[in-house]
Structure 1
Amino acid sequence: MSLGIVMLVHDALDRAEQLVRHWATHDCPVVVHVDAYVTQDDFANFTAALDDLDNVRFCKRRHCEWGTWSLVAASQTASEAMLETFPDVQHVLLASGSCLPLRPISEMRAYLSNRSQTDFIESATTEDVPWTIGGLDIERFTLRFPFSWKRQRRLFDYYVSIQRKLDLKRTIPFGLIPHLGSQWWCLTRATLSAILNDPQRPRFDQYFRRVWIPDESYYQTLARRHSSRIESRSLTLSKFDFQGKPHVFYDDHLQLLRRSDCFVARKAWRYADKLYDSFLSDQPTVVTGAEPNPGKIDRIFTKAIERRTKGRPGLYMPSRFPRDGHEGNITAARYTVLEGFSELFDGFEDWLADVVSARVHGHLFAEDKAHFAGGAPEFFGALTDSAKLRDYNPKAFLTNLIWNTRGERQCFQYGPSDNQDLSWVMAKDTNARIYVVSGAWAVPLFHSNRNFSDIRREAARLQKLESEHLTVLRSGHARARTQIWSLADFVLNPTEPLQTVLDDIGLRQPGALPKLPKMKPLQGFGQFLQDLKNQGMHPYLMGDFPAGHDLVPTARIQRKPYLVK
């Protein structure tokens, strides 16, 4: 016996019964917390239906409400019962009554047995998570939240605003560094016992009672205090939309969930008979041994969210009618901005200059100086490479350069290390053609020999800058033609993005297919990102790089033929 399940149930008791039975009959003891809002008759029927299983227990019930301490208290009660009743359990998984196992339980137990000292819990500092909204990131821990966000929204907002105006702040208990992450964790017995038996637990519990959404921060913070090894990821696939609401999986997601290689998915629709029949079946299943890889479906969800929030070109819906823009063209001619390419390829600027009909510059807005093509100290328009002069008015620098080179396409590199004052200027410019490989700035850090703590700090800084820049590019006010690839998507198929760039700029010899530049080695890059996660930094702009193996490019897209008359 190596895996125990702590399950929080509040509705769909028929499906919860199926799930409890599935876990229990595959040698996983289960401790169930049933919400006190469930009627006594329904609770009695539920417990009676599972009475034949000797490795299922029910703990003390309490009323639970989203975003409040009650959810943490329920998991504490159930976890204490699990540790006390089942001494052979070495890992404890927190699940809900709608968390559906996607792979054989025996495979999950074997996976955890091979990682007996590892805690699987998403745990990142407040500065590094992308999902906090409404300004409540570190304020989750420094303000008080005695009112329910769902039931008492006006009181909630009013009390938050009063605390901000009066500058009332709570003191974070000494020894705690706030971390956030998914509430669905899988902890070792040692770590969970240490959290529940911490001598300072009464003080910590009292503090977290007034933290907003403590189920996303309590275990995530205390695990950093007690764990010897953390894999900052959840074994449960849990997807959220742009409003922070969880995605629900239906029958038509069956093949999608199978491709994820994840162990558990939340949350499955209670009437998705095909999902439950397929994944809870006792028929022989092929054991893949694959590392959980939610990135396989992340791209699909990302595209779905983008389609939902942005719609399609030319389709105007009342829910997202575009705001009028009154600004004309900022510059005089088209130009190309490349972000992340020179960081990913060796000699990229020289290669590009040889194959396209354009003037290819380096980082024109670099911190040290303007890197003009060929290393020239001056350029058309009486422009010099002085960073001080350029940064006096970076917009004028750009417009001057484009005006004085009309008739010749200009192309330059850009990134989070460059002057960010130009982000909105380029985003609003209809002449700008911007191509971004998000997260590519991590490649030079990966190849550097710097101290890892310095790398982690620099990575967090650059990621924050690039995230803000991408937000600008995706803004409804942006007018530039922009294409963004995550680093993982680009590495899997570099030919198609490069083809897009070359077609837009124009080749010197249209009939010839240039040899692609040499990509910098990325062996071990996935583990490098995982190490950043394990140190509390959440690298989310790169896409999904599995820690266990390197990404291998897929079949290359053939270049479309050119007809020469």
Structure 2
Amino acid sequence: MTLGFVMLVHTAFDRAEQVARHWAAAGCPVVIHVDGKVTRKVFRGFRDRFAGDPLIRFSRRVRVEWGTWSLVAATQVATERLLQTFPDVRHVYLASGSCMPLRPIPELCAYLDANPDTDFIESVTTDEATWTIDGLEAERFTLRFPFSWRKRRKLFDRYTEVQRKLGVRRKIPEAVRPHLGSQWWCLTRTTLQAILTAPDRAEIDAYFSKVWIPDESYFQSLVRNHARRIESRSLTLSKFDVQGKPHIFYDDHLQLLERSDCFVARKIWPQANGLYDTFLAADRPSRRVAEPNPGKIDRVFSRANGRRAVGRPGLYNQGRFPRQGFENGITAARYNVFCGFDDLFDGFGAWLARRIGGRVHGRLFHPDGARFAGAERVFNGCLSDNPTLRDYRPEQFLTNLLWSTRSERQTFQYHPGDTPEVVDFIARDPNATICVITGAWAVPLHLSDLSFADMRAEAARLQRADAAMTATLQSAGTAARLHHWTLADFVAQPRDRMRGIMHEITGPGPRRVTDLPPMRDLTGFPAFLEQLRNDGMKPVVMGDFTATPGGRNGR
């Protein structure tokens, strides 16, 4: 009987009973502390289940409040009961009701037998290393914290701020060298007895009673005064997220926990039946002599913490919807936006699909509804072509489409008459390649059967929208790759312009742009612009057509 356990329990009593019986079945005595906030009826029912078991005892109860001295007091009374009741115990292992052994108990006992004078406790000085993930470090020891952080947060914060302004600095007892570390330790009887029977214990306990979260500093600091040999690490696997909250282990963490080679893990979800059935099996073989090495799985948790902190690029959901500027990439994949090309060229979408591959959509933000590739009504991610649903949040319509199709590059057409709210979003997106021919919308308008009065009104509306779109795309905040020409500039050298676009999208290659889809007939287009000008509507976004040939394909 070289190892005993102290268990701090406040919930999930069925699981705590399983673990306690598992330890006792291996010959290890257990002293259980049940939180004083638990009702007497529940406590007595739990205690009576162990009637007649000589290796399981209960300690005096303390009402425990997180972050306060009460948690240390509960640990003290349970540890004292264990040391008094079981004099043969050489090491005391502190655990919670949500802890679970990962390796057979004989392996842990053999490991401690090989290190009889070693105290396993994480103990990090506040002066030389940063231990906490979020919260106070040195000020834990120099200020007073008489108020509960959880129940009286405003009073806690105000009292802390007042002490800072007044320059309050508590005197640290000479016997205390402030250290921090995990609450879950395994200490020798000799060290624990020295701490609990120290002549200045009353003074030290009074000091730590006003330290913030003393369960992370009381034993971690005092062990430095009495231990023969310290290994500054815990034998319990516990991982924390970016907010300092413990990760909870579920059934799908089974292989991860086995790979760690740690002796105990917390926190285990009470409903993780697969974990409890596997690790508490009576016939679990003892075949490993490996050192506990939580570093084997650190990479997994680092990735998880990083993903929780910054998310995955382009993924938005109810659990993570960051403010503008705090995204980890506002979209999930590269994509292309062409504006004006389908107005200038017949069959441009089909030609582009053959050239670059991927999915080439029509006008996704058409006022009458999204024009998905293949004339689909519902696209990947259950995105509907309904314009009302799309325009409720047009930016999220686009991010959802790109997330659902991130393995395949997407391309779509845009028109100045389409939903304008999405332009600023696309302009800010480094994943976007935007190719714009301003004024190209005037070509199909010129070839339409509308009366001239209707043409003039529509031209005035689209020119205003085109100018606003161009101003947004050329603003200082634009991060997209932008290719921009007026209609006159583009039709003067269409192959050269298109060659630059293809180089940007597909990269350099042996294929040259030698064929273009047929350009719409521009015969009479300069005269159309002149007519608009003479009628009082000055066309400016198309560029200067006075030196541009009026032929079909330019050169």
Q: TM-score, normalised by structure 2?
A: 0.57
Q: CA deviation at 1:42?
A: 1.1
Mapping of residues 337-352 of structure 1, within 5 Å: none
Q: CA deviation at 1:314?
A: 4.1
Q: CA deviation at 1:94?
A: 0.4
Amino acid at match of 2:322: S
Q: CA deviation at 1:135?
A: 5.8
Indicate if the aligned counterparts of 1:259 and 1:296 stay in contact, CA closer than 8 A: yes
Match of 1:274 in 2: 274
Mapping of residues 69-88 of structure 1, within 5 Å: 69-88=69-88
Relative to structure 1, the CA distance from residue 323 to residue 79 in structure 2 (aligned partners, 3 Å threshold; closer, same or farther) is: closer
Mapping of residues 377-416 of structure 1, within 5 Å: none
Relative to structure 1, the CA distance from residue 202 to residue 75 in structure 2 (aligned partners, 3 Å threshold; closer, same or farther) is: same
Amino acid at match of 2:123: S
Indicate if the aligned counterparts of 1:140 and 1:211 stay in contact, CA closer than 8 A: yes
Alpha-carbon distance in structure 2 between the residues aligned to 1:218 and 1:256: 31
Amino acid at match of 1:139: E
Amino acid at match of 1:244: G
Indicate if the aligned counterparts of 1:104 and 1:287 stay in contact, CA closer than 8 A: no
Alpha-carbon distance in structure 1 between the residues aligned to 2:326 and 2:194: 54
Q: CA deviation at 1:313?
A: 3.3
Match of 2:298 in 1: 298
Match of 2:208 in 1: 208
Deviations 1:157-193 (A, max 9, x none): 0000000000011000013210000000000010000
Alpha-carbon distance in structure 1 between the residues aligned to 2:3 and 2:183: 18
Indicate if the aligned counterparts of 1:310 and 1:320 stay in contact, CA closer than 8 A: no
Deviations 1:138-175 (A, max 9, x none): 10000000000000000000000000000011000013
Alpha-carbon distance in structure 1 between the residues aligned to 2:133 and 2:241: 13
Alpha-carbon distance in structure 2 between the residues aligned to 1:286 and 1:133: 36
**Range that drifts further, 121-130 or 261-270:** 121-130
Indicate if the aligned counterparts of 1:33 and 1:74 stay in contact, CA closer than 8 A: yes
Match of 1:40 in 2: 40
Amino acid at match of 1:282: A
**Range that drifts further, 145-154 or 172-181:** 172-181
C-alpha root-mean-square deviation of aligned residues, in Å? 1.8
Alpha-carbon distance in structure 1 between the residues aligned to 2:185 and 2:172: 23
One of 305, 319, 324 as aligned partner of 2:322: 319
Alpha-carbon distance in structure 1 between the residues aligned to 2:134 and 2:160: 11
Instruction: Kindly name which structure, 1 or 2, has the bigger radius of gyration based on alpha carbons.
Output: 2
Indicate if the aligned counterparts of 1:131 and 1:244 stay in contact, CA closer than 8 A: no
SS for the counterpart of 1:122 is coil
Match of 2:139 in 1: 139
Q: CA deviation at 1:320?
A: 5.4
Relative to structure 1, the CA distance from residue 47 to residue 162 in structure 2 (aligned partners, 3 Å threshold; closer, same or farther) is: same
Q: CA deviation at 1:91?
A: 0.1
Alpha-carbon distance in structure 1 between the residues aligned to 2:32 and 2:241: 28
Relative to structure 1, the CA distance from residue 61 to residue 20 in structure 2 (aligned partners, 3 Å threshold; closer, same or farther) is: same
Higher relative contact order (CA 8 A, sep 6+): 1
Alpha-carbon distance in structure 1 between the residues aligned to 2:251 and 2:77: 34
Match of 1:170 in 2: 170
Mapping of residues 32-111 of structure 1, within 5 Å: 32-111=32-111
Match of 1:189 in 2: 189
Alpha-carbon distance in structure 1 between the residues aligned to 2:131 and 2:120: 19
Amino acid at match of 2:203: R
Question: Does residue 158 of structure 2 align to residue 155 of structure 1?
Answer: no
SS for the counterpart of 1:50 is coil
Alpha-carbon distance in structure 2 between the residues aligned to 1:163 and 1:115: 44
Indicate if the aligned counterparts of 2:7 and 2:31 stay in contact, CA closer than 8 A: yes
SS for the counterpart of 1:318 is coil
Alpha-carbon distance in structure 2 between the residues aligned to 1:15 and 1:256: 21
Q: CA deviation at 1:129?
A: 4.1
Relative to structure 1, the CA distance from residue 129 to residue 53 in structure 2 (aligned partners, 3 Å threshold; closer, same or farther) is: farther
Indicate if the aligned counterparts of 1:67 and 1:213 stay in contact, CA closer than 8 A: yes
Q: CA deviation at 1:310?
A: 1.7
SS for the counterpart of 1:6 is strand
Alpha-carbon distance in structure 2 between the residues aligned to 1:249 and 1:137: 27
SS for the counterpart of 2:224 is helix
Match of 1:28 in 2: 28
SS for the counterpart of 1:298 is helix
Q: CA deviation at 1:216?
A: 0.1
Q: CA deviation at 1:85?
A: 0.6
Deviations 1:74-125 (A, max 9, x none): 0000110111110100000000001100000011001001100000000000
Relative to structure 1, the CA distance from residue 172 to residue 307 in structure 2 (aligned partners, 3 Å threshold; closer, same or farther) is: same
Structure 1 unmatched ranges of 5 or more: 325-429, 431-478, 480-565
